Structure 1
Amino acid sequence: MEACNDFYYATRDPLGAAGDFTTAPEISQMFGELVGASLADCWHRSGSSARAIYAEIGPGRGTLAADALRAMRSAGFAGEAHLVETSPKLREKQASSVPHARFHDRVEQLPGVPLLLAANEFLDALPARQWIGDEERKVAIANDRLSFTPDGEVHEDSPARREAVAAIARHLVRNGGVALIIDYGHARTAPGDTLQAVRRHEYADPLADPGEQDLTSHVDFEAVGHAAEQAGALVSTLVTQGDWLRHLGIEHRAQSLIASNPDKRHDVEQALHRLCGRDEMGELFKVMAIRSPDWPEPAGFAA
């Protein structure tokens, strides 16, 4: 999974209608604006540190960063933008969307300052391991094709995912700041095979065409939260993306956009449904905040 995704992301822009999938920032500017508003509000309530920076892990085309920073700038935030990205193809897109952004290969390379960090659909692409009882599930060759062995009830684990979250948490504990983790997955650790492939906006065989399609698995948010807490950070209640966006006022933002652009009513309403609808991204996608013990909890997580 790691080898396939490393090649896949290094050799193409997978986003949009011509690619393999579409993420929330590409659906509507409202998503990025509310991420930025949430981070800016938390920054204000923490004391408005002039040293704080905006950081994003796996920033796609830079669309989320551009929209979030626009909202943050309007709220008085003047910090730098730092993007953690290893794909040369995507770095080109991000440099165009976020001029003067600084690039890093790893979270550990970010400056030792407070972070206002976003990670949207990043963790799901990190490699997972699967187990059948005490035996690790592996990829084998059978009849000249790739296949899984053995079969049975699958339990998934992702050391890479836990370590990525722990690295974020350690940075926040040392330097201050907050991270918004947005991804699809489940609230509690449970058995099940969630490995999936997407190609041309349709599900595909995960073992077909290695390196030519997006491989992901559902994020185990219980494990992610434990990893952050073990590193000393505080973890918010887990909420659905739909509830979080509604708590932040996405419906009011949608009405404002419609009022300014009446001819775009259908597009805005359709985007609102895709982001928040229970039958779309609203229920499957979850949001978790990880923060320094010295920082307040971001808006949108209160019961």
Structure 2
Amino acid sequence: MGRANAAYYANHDPFGDFTTAPEISQMFGELIGAWAAVAWALMGRPDRIILAEAGPGRGSLMADARRVTARVAPDFHAAAQVHFIETSPRLRTEQAKRVPDAAWHDDLSNLPDGPLILIGNEFLDALPIRQFRVQDGQWAERHVAGSDFVEISCPPQSGLPVDEADEQGYLERNEPAEDFVTSLARRLAAHGGVGLLIDYGSAQNPGDSLQAIRSRRMAPALEQAGEADLTALVDFGAVARAAQRGGASIQGPVTQGAFLNALGLMPRAVKLAAGRPETEAAAVLGAARRLAEPAAMGRLFKAIAVTPHGFPPLPGLAA
């Protein structure tokens, strides 16, 4: 999965295959920008803040966030130094068109020292998973051989939790995602800041959730590896435990719909739609509903914050 996605993002325009929240509406990035400004104020308004995004896509979220902070939070805007965590040269070029003053890094460890606000929207879901299956008390790990899955028995003392397997016996582990969150937690505990992670997922092991998207349609996961986007549901319970292992606390998770509505999505949509032609106004309001309604992205997508212990409550993340 890791090699396939590295090839895919290096050689394809992923937004020809799928659409993320920042591409659906400018409102998403605007609300995240306003949220970050409040988080900065809760941090004590440091003179310099690293404003980082992991997996920033085309840079649309950050461009929209920076546009709104320049208008409504100029002190935060001046203090924030934009950094992107991105390995794809193709996407870095796209991001530079929208946020030309950004600095780029291959991973979290390369970010400069200092207080940090990190945003990760649909970042964890693309990191490579491992899959296991239990039958009659015996665990096997799923591997890829050619164009097929094969199952190879695990050692008897594998330590995998049988009670976490789904009804079909599947258990997914996203170790790179957990390692990222643990590293983020250690950084925040040491230097201060917050991390906001938004992704599609569940409160516990999602079972067999690997999927491929190509040309905006589902595709067989092992067909034409490197030609489709591979993702898996995020286990937010595992994310929370990873943060706690790193010495941090969490706020949330809450559904994306609850998060965005608490930040004022619908009033912003009404204001943005006002005075526009009927079809444009309908598109603005339709985009807001797509982001927040339970039947669209509002329930499946969730938001969680990683913070140092004792950090004040953040907007939109009250349980």
Indicate whether 1:283 and 2:299 are aligned.
Answer: yes
Partner of 1:196: 211
Partner of 2:140: 135
Retained in 1: the 8 A contact 2:171–2:205?
Answer: no
Retained in 2: the 8 A contact 1:176–1:294?
Answer: no
Partner of 1:12: 12
Partner of 2:161: none
Partner of 2:160: none
Q: What's the offset of the Cα at 1:294?
A: 5.7
Distance 1:294 1:105 in 2: 30
Q: Secondary structure at the match of 2:189?
A: helix
What CA deviation, in whole Å up to 9, does each residue of 1:188-209 have, x standing for no partner?
A: 235x200000001111000000
Distance 2:126 2:288 in 1: 25
Q: What's the offset of the Cα at 1:260?
A: 4.4
Instruction: Give 1:70's aligned amino acid.
Output: R
Distance 1:130 1:227 in 2: 18
Partner of 1:39: 36
Distance 1:72 1:202 in 2: 36
Partner of 2:112: 111
Moved over 6 A (4+): none
Q: Secondary structure at the match of 2:47?
A: coil
What CA deviation, in whole Å up to 9, does each residue of 1:232-283 have, x standing for no partner?
A: 1110121000010001100110111012434421111110111011111001
Q: What's the offset of the Cα at 1:45?
A: 2.1
Distance 1:90 1:296 in 2: 35
Q: Secondary structure at the match of 2:294?
A: coil
Distance 2:224 2:268 in 1: 42
**Segment of structure 1 superposing worse, 117-126 or 284-293:** 284-293
Retained in 2: the 8 A contact 1:83–1:101?
Answer: yes
Which runs of 5 or more residues in structure 2 are unaligned?
153-167
**Segment of structure 1 superposing worse, 48-57 or 68-77:** 68-77
TM-score (norm 1): 0.94
Equivalent runs, 1:36-115 vs 2, <5 Å? 36-74=33-71, 75-76=73-74, 77=76, 78=78, 79-115=80-116
Retained in 1: the 8 A contact 2:36–2:117?
Answer: yes
Q: Secondary structure at the match of 1:137?
A: strand
Distance 1:285 1:32 in 2: 16
Retained in 2: the 8 A contact 1:12–1:90?
Answer: no
Q: Secondary structure at the match of 2:56?
A: coil
Distance 1:261 1:300 in 2: 29
Tell me the C-alpha RMSD between the 2 structures: 1.4
Distance 2:70 2:118 in 1: 15
Which runs of 5 or more residues in structure 1 are unaligned?
none
Equivalent residue pairs, number = 295
Q: Secondary structure at the match of 1:80?
A: strand
Distance 2:175 2:282 in 1: 43
- Percent same amino acid among aligned pairs? 48
Instruction: Give 1:255's aligned amino acid.
Output: V
Q: What's the offset of the Cα at 1:25?
A: 0.1
What CA deviation, in whole Å up to 9, does each residue of 1:81-109 have, x standing for no partner?
A: 00000000000010110011000001011
Retained in 2: the 8 A contact 1:126–1:161?
Answer: yes
Retained in 1: the 8 A contact 2:221–2:230?
Answer: yes
